[in-house]
Structure 1
Amino acid sequence: MSKDVENMSEPGSNMENETSSRTGKESSDDEGQLPQDGTYGVVGVCGVVGNLIARVLMDHGFKVTCTDMKPEAECKFGYTLEPYIKKYSPTIYFSGHPESFLTESDYILPPPSLSKTSKLFKRIEESGTNILEVGDVLRWVKPDKPVICITGTNGKTTTTTLLKHICRSAGLEPTEHGFRDLQGNIDYIPALQGRLNGDVAVLETGTFGVPEDLKRVIERSEPSCGIITNITPDHLDKDQDFLSYANIKGDFIEYLKNKQLIVNSDDPTLWGLIKSKNCFNVVSFGMDSQSTVKGMKKCWCGREISLDETISGVGYYECECGLKRSEPDYLATDINESGFTLKTPHGSMKLNPKIMGLHNIYNILGAVAGAVEFFKIPLEDLKEAVESFEGVPGRLEHMFTFNEKDVIVDYGHNPAGVETVLRELKKVYNKLTAVVTISSESGASGDEEIFRKVLELADFVVPASSSSRTAAEKHLPNDKIVMTSRSLEKFREGTLGATQDQVIEGLKRGLKCDACAVVCLGEAAFKYKESIMSLKTIEL
């Protein structure tokens, strides 16, 4: 989950609960609607929230003028201005906030991050202009289309992207925030995205693992349906109880329990949570897979139960409390290297998707169930869309082949995601090298768990990041581990665990290993894909 978000409130802030307007010009009417005849001044059009608020207002017919402190040439999201904002021909002031902006605006919306003690905020107050907040826009400009939210520890990005692809194939245009390299699943982004122009809203909704942060996102977004992919402890803080962490998804379920939920019933923690909430309209999906891999996971009753795992944390289970894996409504069966048979309440079909791996079958099941059950797209119309989908950039993305070795990039950055990727690759490649660029969200404990899984499944391991090197040193000596010199350099920037130089050195070492493929794991692998591509022409 990207934290590179400008002009946004911090998780847990109560800004949205403040008084909706302040003294100044006449506020919105008592009917709870924004007047159409005024001019709305949006501060911070170069930031995420300001950009989206301006677009939401203009998409709904409001007159808007914008400002930003940055010159247009330095506007981080400047590429969104032409297609989304300038088409409405608003006045845009760059490099400052002139008096004319204050005088021509009947209502002003500063970004949530603007301090109320700042000079600009005081100028706005002194101008007598009515001050509105993001919460006002969300309350008074409602989604005018079907909205579905997708959450879960793993797979939500692929599920979201595939469901959008299916919708487009059916002639339905999803709303898009349009920001490159920004996941956009936290704070105000999903809610504002759902109010942009489009036929449907398919919104990825995430959490920092803080109680009630997902609740805020879901309440702002106002969906009628939700998909939950799974719940694993991958983002768990070391002092946090797993079931308490899982219950953050309980807010998502509580909001939608009398509407519609689509969930992975192969996950005992998730299925137990669903059962505990007495949900009204639940559609389940799962997989019929012969598994010899044993795993353990907490049931919602608190017991540790045994699983015959299909992928990490999901599979066949039965607990002493009575909870057990039931037959899913959307079932993948007859699974082989070329595809699987999809059985649904509406019929069956053979699917041969381009995206590989059991984890992606779960993603397909969730997306297909959402398309059929919520958007009412006929099952027979989905086959071409599913089979033409090429995946999300950075997710098991084949870059090139070097000296008969396939070079693959995967964004995976938590233990379950990494384990799933490596298990799937080992089904294809006899010998595999993993280059680890990860710095875990869970700190040292997460780094150590990731490294243990990589060491177990890969034939060679190159710790390219300083975090993975620290974890690797606890397993030395080991013939599988190939150290690099640059991994000694300390670097961590959120979940970005390695510099470009560390990634490139790690891959060069990985390409020298006696393996059939090299997979580079982590956010840095995705960020520096272009540099990775340059390696295909070098001589080692």
Structure 2
Amino acid sequence: MINSENRQKPVYGVVGICGVVGNLVSRMLMDKKFRVMGTDMSPAKGCTFLYTLEDYDFPKFLENHPESFFSDSDIIIPPPSLGEDSELFKLISEHGNDVMTVDDCLNQFKPDKPVLCVSGTNGKTTTTTLLKHICRTMDLKPTEHGFIKLQGNIDYIPPLQARLKGDVAVLETGTFGNTGDLEIMMKRCEPDCGVLTNINPDHLDKTHDFINYARIKGEFVDYFQKKKLIINSDDPTVWGLIKNPDSVIKFGVDTTTEDVGYKECWCGNEIEINETITGSGYYQCECGLKRPEPDYLAFDVEESEGRFKLKTPDSVFEVKMKLIGLHNVYNVTGAIVAAREYFNLPMDKILTAVETFEGVSGRIEHLFTHEEMEVILDYGHNPAGIETVLRELKKVYETITVVLTVSSESGEHGDVEIFDKVLKFGDFIVPASHASRVVAETKVEEIESGKIVLTSESVVKFDKTGTLGASSDQVLDGMKTGLKCKSSALICLGEAAFKYKKSILELK
């Protein structure tokens, strides 16, 4: 721990600046005008995030920990993963440096700006990105972690991002699915407002059930019950977590739908939902849980046109957006509520910002048109997200071809659930990932009918990483096969589709 000696502008020595945490810690300290030195054993070519430090002028030592690093540093901040029995800790001890942990940093350097966290199974990236866009249009600079192709919603990234330079912090916050994850996250981020988009089954294996997963999300709710909490009250799982209904701001959507879905209720019964999107809509359980009247209600929705009316506690507004689909009506409404209720931004300017928002890369992203077939990419990788995306696209396009690159984190039963969702909405299905190919081969009737179109590359075994279920060759083979199908639109689904987007664009 840091001794009580009062130092004037101490020099902080940050170990591991090529890693995410060390990188953010050094930038945070520089933003706060402290003196910093950084070191890492990685060479420059292996320092993945070195580009984020280009505008930060401090000594950076790569490939070694020089003697001067220890002699010139007053306080050394090691990475959280470094054990106290390591050689580096021995060197720190020999040089008599004070040691500050990353958690010590978070406790000593508090956020100096409004902090809002967005969580939920689906929609949090779009909600977060739109809210930051709204802030930027009003000259409020959101903090950014700056890591290209890194979502950054777990571990130490959100809390350190909250302490970077900026006027506001809008943080996407996720979970590894372990009890205590979100509780710790909130304590580290120290936000005053939270937005919860929904809670649907995601990343669940045989050792986890949905209610336990929902309880983990409930840690987010518990933290904000005495602060400001904005929720999608059309989701019965979310609404069932609320202990004090008067303490939350509710948003929802009013639309006619014939879709019926089911979810496990908190009472243990299965609750029927007249679904607007997967897992949300109109519901009433025999235990008494029922959909409340939202404080902010989207109605008269024209999905394919990106228009709806929004009833607020004091007025009704016309909302125009460049996005399509009911799921984006929810995302946009949640962002509008947060911008108005927490950041106190004027409604007319919020609506103008919404109208200029282009969406998030990889979220129903239009890539090109191929012989009158619209080619679309979506990062969707869990059953609820995939079902929502396909359901919305089916409202816009008469026929759709689905190229599936996903491998579920839930294992084989997750792969089956995802494939069944795709079968429900897709007119042609091309299993591009090995995992989806394994499931496809059990669907003999659909193969014989031509609904499932097999490729050659998806036969090849692929060692997945998380939800990255296909190689570049498998994705391209799937796309080439899908482009031969006669449909109004082709959508390539999954993390691999997003990763190899550049290669896909070369097919146009």
TM-score by length of 2: 0.97
Is residue 479 of structure 2 the alignment partner of residue 513 of structure 1? no
Distance 2:382 2:395 in 1: 20
- Greater mean deviation of Cα atoms: 362-371 or 294-303: 294-303
Residue number among 288, 297, 313 corresponding to 1:322 in the alignment: 288
Residue of structure 1 in register with 2:419 after alignment: 451
Question: Does the 8 A contact of 1:464 with 1:486 survive in 2?
Answer: yes
Q: Does 1:526 align with 2:498?
A: yes
> Which residue number in structure 2 is paired with residue 490 of structure 1?
461
Contact persistence 1:36–1:61 (CA under 8 A): no
Counterparts of 2:138 and 2:122, CA distance in 1: 26
2:212 corresponds to 1:240: no
Distance in 2, matches of 1:219 and 1:519, equals 39
Unaligned runs of at least 5 residues, structure 2: none
Say which SS state the counterpart of residue 234 (structure 1) adopts. coil
Distance change (3 Å), C-alpha of 1:432 and 1:353: same
RMSD: 1.3
* CA–CA separation in structure 2 for the residues paired with 1:218 and 1:467: 35
- Does structure 1 residue 70 correspond to structure 2 residue 47? no
Q: What whole-Å deviation, never above 9, does each CA across 1:211-244 have from its counterpart, x for those lacking one?
A: 1111111110000010000001122222322111
Give how far 1:115 is off: 2.7
CA distance in 2, matches of 1:54, 1:171: 26
| Counterpart amino acid of residue 283 in structure 2 | Y
Counterpart of 2:230 in 1: which secondary structure?
A: strand
**Where do residues 11-410 of structure 1 align in structure 2 (5 Å cutoff)?**
21=1, 27-28=3-4, 36-83=8-55, 85=56, 89-274=57-242, 277-278=243-244, 281-336=247-302, 337-338=304-305, 339-410=307-378
Residues 261-296 of structure 1: CA deviation (Å, up to 9, x unaligned): 00000000110111xx33662000000010101111
Instruction: Indicate conservation of the 8 Å contact 2:12/2:75, yes or no.
Output: yes
Give, in angstroms, the shift of residue 27 of structure 1: 2.1
SS for the counterpart of 1:306 is strand
- Is the Cα–Cα contact under 8 Å of residues 187 and 216 in structure 1 kept in the other structure? no
For 2:472, the equivalent position in structure 1 comes to: 500
1:535 is displaced (CA, Å) by 0.4
**Contact 1:268-1:298 within 8 A present in 2 as well:** no
SS at match of 1:423: helix
CA–CA distance in structure 1, aligned partners of residues 431 and 209 of structure 2:
29
SS of 1:535's equivalent?
coil
What TM-score results when the alignment is normalised by the length of structure 1?
0.91
Shift of 1:473: 1.6
Paired with 1:456 and 1:418, the residues of 2 have a C-alpha distance of 11
Secondary structure, aligned partner of 2:107: helix
Letter in structure 2 aligned against 1:111? P
Deviations 1:364-415 (A, max 9, x none): 0111110000000111211111011011100000111111111110000000
Return the letter of the residue paired with 2:458: S
May I ask how many residue pairs the two structures share in their alignment?
502
Distance 1:224 1:235 in 2: 28
Change (3 A) 1:231 1:390: same
Q: Which residue of 2 aligns with 1:13?
A: none
Please give the alpha-carbon distance, in whole angstroms, between the structure 1 residues aligned to 2:116 and 2:245.
17
In structure 2, what residue type is equivalent to 1:511?
L
For 1:14, the equivalent position in structure 2 comes to none
Distance 1:471 1:36 in 2: 64
Whole-Å Cα distance in 1 between the matches of residues 62 and 438 of structure 2? 46
Q: Does 1:464 align with 2:432?
A: yes
**1-structure distance, mates of 2:177, 2:8:** 39
Q: CA deviation at 1:36?
A: 4.9
Give yes or no for contact 2:366–2:374 (8 Å, CA) kept in 1. yes
Instruction: Tell me the residue number matched to 1:419.
Output: 387
Query: Per-residue CA shift, 1:96-140, capped at 9, x if unaligned?
Result: 110110100011001112232322222122221111100110000
